[in-house]
Amino acid sequence: MIDNKTFLVAGIIIAILIGVVAVFLASGDPDGLESTALVVSGQKDLTGLSPEDGDPEEVGTGTFAYESPMPDYSLGESLGQMGGLIAIVAGIILTLLVVLGASYILKMSRKGSKT
């Protein structure tokens, strides 16, 4: 059985490997929700291919808009797949740190701790 540290390191490596493979192999097709948006707005058949220039947000009714720093897990067209790699790895590490931090804070905030 592997110890906590090895488990954590192995887990991070596997997560990063999945993310790296995703940058190169992930499908560019819209996801299930976007695809449904294309279907209900008449831009796509239920079982047909998705249009290259389809706009799933056409059906939107909301008004709020937010600009994220790394939209669509990329750093923009110019950096291409390298930008995608940086974005994914940064996201995985950030997720790990945020969850580690939140877990430690919650564990410490417990009064009369059992451990």
At a CB cut-off of 8 Å and minimum separation 6, what does 29 contact? 35, 50
Residue 112 sits in the site that holds other proteins (CB under 8 A): no
- Look-up: residue for tokens 């808009």? 65
Q: Is 56 exposed, middle or buried (0-12, 13-18, 19+ CB in 10 A)?
A: buried
Considering only 29, 76, 79, 80, the residue that binds other proteins (CB under 8 A) is 29
CB of 9 to other proteins, least distance (A): 9
> In the window 35-94, what residues touch other proteins (CB under 8 A)?
35-37, 39-40, 44, 46-50, 56-57, 59-73, 87-88, 91-94
CB of 87 to other proteins, least distance (A): 7
